[in-house]
Chain A
Amino acid sequence: MPDALRFLTRTSGRARLDWTDWLSYAYLFVGLFLMFGPVLWIVMSSFKTQSGLTDFPPSFLPYGQKSVQVAGNEARLPLYRVKMPDGSTRELAELRRIGLTATMIDPAKPGEEIPVNIKDREKTSELRVATENYTELFGKLSFGRYLWNSVFITVVATLITLLFNSMAAFALSKYRFRGQKTVFLLIIATLMIPPTIILVPNFLVISNLGLLNSLWGVIWPAVATPTGVFLLRQYMLTIPDELLDAARMDHASEWQIYWRIVLPLTAPALAVLAIFSVMWRWNDFLWPLIVLSRSELFTLQLALNAFQGELQTEWNYLLAMTVITIIPVTLVFAFLQKHITTGIASSGVK
């Protein structure tokens, strides 16, 4: 840990900070602010109450208006700090408001109603973390259902992607056959076709296969990725052919060679592809939007969109949902990234 700290606080100047240090730190902090600022803002905002979100000027920390229970009223009443005509300041609860005049009440003396011009008062705020944004979310809008749909599509599509792409890469890297180069070039060439171009043909295929409004309709078109095939093929080319020959002498079938020799040795590249695939599938919006039109099949991304599209947007829930949507990708990246570096480091065979 001291090593890491020393590395992070390393400077170019020996005793004092050099101007290059100032410059690089300034650059790094600007970068940090630009990248991390919006994410942090979303996370903080997701803990704000509905009214806290609409406050102006906006606050960084989640403040909420204080409220109080006053005898004779069922709902809790919001508290205001009111400047009285005599110059004193009192804390009053708002009973109702008509136009520019609010009828206020002193929580201590519930009988007395005080008319107050709304210019003379300001909200009494307190730091309040609105965890109900999250807890209530699970009851609302069958959030659990969307989460499951997203997880199912991501996990299943990633597994199938890894399997199919590695099989294609194995054949293209380890077998010599007529047309091998052509097949490889055809696969790579599809990288040049923008997904929007094949949106309609894909839709027609899925529609005719009867996969519309099915999670599999989202999964199947996504599992064969040229990027994945290319990535894995290039990695498999580095596995020495002698290993495969040795396995053949060891009575291994071609399937066993793939499954027990090539696949384990490709683990670092598979981890990279897994990260990509998880991010692609989890963040995918356009294709699921086209295939899935029944709301119980929505993924989180679609639900976020639908949620916003209603007459009134409940921003506090929307933000909480956004945060939940970001978390898995962040976790996957954080953990598998470590796996990649160790994987590449330990694969230095020979």
Chain B
Amino acid sequence: MSTLQLKHIDKRFGDTVVLRDIDLEAAEGEFVALVGPSGCGKSTLLRIISGLEPTTAGEIILDGKRVNDVSAAERGLAMVFQSYALYPHMTVYQNMAFGLENTGTPKAEIERKIGDAARMLQLDVLLQRRPTQLSGGQRQRVAIGRAIVRNPKLFLFDEPLSNLDAELRVQMRAEIIALHQRLKTGMIYVTHDQVEAMTMADKIVVLRAGQVEQTGTPLELYNSPQNRFVAGFIGSPRMNFIEAVVTARDGRGLTLALAGFEPQATINVAVDPAAAAHGTAVMLGVRPEHLEVAEGAGAPDTVTVQIAQVEQLGGHGFIHCTLPTSKRSLVVQFQGQIASRAGATVTLRIPPAACHVFSTAAGEPALPPLHGAG
């Protein structure tokens, strides 16, 4: 049961800036996911928290105490590595006992702790095996078991599921969630897979190029992304982006002319009219699951596009569309099954309430919604 606070963390390797002014807070027992594309510095940040990597500047505060100069072992954290990092020459039991032996834990207690962890993770029958004799999922469980027996203040996970196949990944995801609910210990979880972050975390920190783009609960990030990067990163399939120009402003918001459609399409969005001047180029974002297939053309907020490909999954499916006069494409998610085929044209309704509008200025921040419009 511990709290973690990072204040203005900077990290440089020589002249390369890896992390810039990172602030982060993890409350007691919170599951925090650090998510971002590869190379964004999320693993480095985790190693800084663990104590394996020193910071260039900034403070790491664990339980109210500054731990910058405390060694990795003394911080009382446990880490699960991407490659599991099991000691190949030791049995599962020895792997789990290694850390406890180093702290001088009595033999009987080591045995009891490993017994408990092994039962919890269904490793009982594997204790005398070596890591090479285990499957990927079992190795993963041993790595988690090795972390559990230490009774850490925080668990650190470094992309723990990335070496597993899809089915096992879903299963292990559920196991880690269950583990978190049972142990109620805080977890910092690094992943590049936003689905993992969305399904597991209490709080998600989105990183890009060494900087925090947005912090919030999964649904906050989904519902109100603060910039185009977060909007595109969170959600699967990705949010659709359409170039647009502000053509009118009034009390109800902005009127946008969307580029690339034939006939010309316009849409009214509930965005604070003070945020963008007339004629400003903006980016309209709308998620595939919010686009609707409309009955007839010509209705307000609709566009006409050509179907490039239809993916039928039975329960739901996706339509990939090409815009008539732009190389951008749209993905639409539909419920159930549809009869449309590739090559046909389809009319889509863009619900204004589900639209996000992003500035094209540096950082591409989201334009604030009209007050009271949500």
Q: Check A349–B102 contact: CB distance below 8 A.
A: no
Q: How large is the interface on A (under 10, 10 to 19, 20 to 34, 35 or more residues)?
A: 20 to 34
In the complex, B27 has a CB within 8 A of chain A: no
Cβ contacts A233-248/B at 8 Å (1 or 0 each): 0000000101101111
In the complex, B79 has a CB within 8 A of chain A: yes
In the complex, B99 has a CB within 8 A of chain A: yes
Known: A245-B52, A264-B89, A265-B89. A252 touches B102 (CB 8 A): yes
Q: Check B78–A249 contact: CB distance below 8 A.
A: yes
Interchain nearest-CB distance for B327 vs A (Å): 42
Q: Check B99–A251 contact: CB distance below 8 A.
A: yes
Q: Check A248–B52 contact: CB distance below 8 A.
A: yes
Query: Nearest CB to that of A263 among chain B residues?
Result: B89
| Residues from 185 to 242 in B contacting A, C-beta threshold 8 Å | none
**A57 CA / B83 CA spacing, docked (Å):** 70
Q: Check A246–B89 contact: CB distance below 8 A.
A: no
Q: Check B99–A249 contact: CB distance below 8 A.
A: yes
Interchain nearest-CB distance for A266 vs B (Å): 10
Which residue of B83, B98, B99 is within 8 Å of A350 (Cβ)? B83
In the complex, A74 has a CB within 8 A of chain B: no
Known: A256-B102, A349-B132. A248 touches B85 (CB 8 A): no
**A69 CA / B103 CA spacing, docked (Å):** 80
Give the number of A-B contacts (CB < 8 Å). Answer: 64
Most A C-beta atoms less than 10 A away, residue of B79, B88, B132, B146: B88
Which residue of A242, A267, A348 is within 8 Å of B85 (Cβ)? A242
In the complex, A261 has a CB within 8 A of chain B: yes
Q: Check B81–A250 contact: CB distance below 8 A.
A: no
Cβ contacts A333-350/B at 8 Å (1 or 0 each): 000000000000011111
Q: Check A245–B79 contact: CB distance below 8 A.
A: yes
CB-defined contacts of A252 to chain B, threshold 8 Å: 73, 98-99, 102
Interchain nearest-CB distance for A246 vs B (Å): 4
Cβ contacts A300-322/B at 8 Å (1 or 0 each): 00000000000000000000000
**A253 CA / B50 CA spacing, docked (Å):** 16
Interchain nearest-CB distance for A348 vs B (Å): 8
Which residue of B77, B88, B98 is within 8 Å of A247 (Cβ)? B98
Q: Check A245–B102 contact: CB distance below 8 A.
A: no
Q: Check B81–A246 contact: CB distance below 8 A.
A: yes
Interchain nearest-CB distance for A17 vs B (Å): 44
Known: A245-B79, A248-B72, A250-B73. A349 touches B88 (CB 8 A): yes
In the complex, B82 has a CB within 8 A of chain A: yes
CB-defined contacts of B50 to chain A, threshold 8 Å: 245, 249
Query: Nearest CB to that of B78 among chain A residues?
Result: A249
**A248 CA / B73 CA spacing, docked (Å):** 6
CB-defined contacts of B77 to chain A, threshold 8 Å: 249
CB-defined contacts of B81 to chain A, threshold 8 Å: 242, 245-246
**A249 CA / B46 CA spacing, docked (Å):** 13
| Residues from 61 to 120 in B contacting A, C-beta threshold 8 Å | 71-73, 77-79, 81-83, 85-89, 98-99, 102-103
CB-defined contacts of B71 to chain A, threshold 8 Å: 248
Which residue of B52, B82, B86, B88 is within 8 Å of A249 (Cβ)? B52
**A350 CA / B139 CA spacing, docked (Å):** 11
Q: Check A240–B102 contact: CB distance below 8 A.
A: no
**A201 CA / B72 CA spacing, docked (Å):** 46
Which residue of A243, A248, A249 is within 8 Å of B87 (Cβ)? A243
Q: Check A246–B85 contact: CB distance below 8 A.
A: yes
**A348 CA / B79 CA spacing, docked (Å):** 24
Q: Check A245–B89 contact: CB distance below 8 A.
A: no
Interchain nearest-CB distance for A269 vs B (Å): 14
Interchain nearest-CB distance for B132 vs A (Å): 7
| Residues from 328 to 345 in B contacting A, C-beta threshold 8 Å | none
**A211 CA / B77 CA spacing, docked (Å):** 51
**A252 CA / B104 CA spacing, docked (Å):** 11
**A349 CA / B87 CA spacing, docked (Å):** 10
Q: Check A249–B73 contact: CB distance below 8 A.
A: yes
CB-defined contacts of B47 to chain A, threshold 8 Å: 245
Cβ contacts B133-157/A at 8 Å (1 or 0 each): 0000000000000100010000000
Supply 20 further A-B pairs (C-beta < 8 A) apart from A243-B87, A247-B87, A265-B89. A242-B81, A242-B85, A245-B81, A245-B85, A246-B79, A246-B81, A246-B146, A247-B98, A249-B99, A250-B98, A250-B146, A250-B150, A251-B73, A251-B99, A261-B87, A267-B89, A346-B132, A348-B132, A349-B88, A350-B83
Residues on B facing A (Cβ under 8 Å): 47, 50, 52, 71-73, 77-79, 81-83, 85-89, 98-99, 102-103, 131-132, 146, 150
Q: 18 A-B residue contacts at CB 8 Å?
A: A242-B82, A243-B87, A245-B50, A245-B81, A246-B146, A248-B52, A248-B71, A249-B50, A250-B150, A251-B103, A253-B102, A261-B87, A265-B89, A267-B89, A346-B132, A349-B88, A349-B131, A350-B83
Residues on A facing B (Cβ under 8 Å): 240, 242-243, 245-253, 256, 260-261, 264-265, 267, 346-350
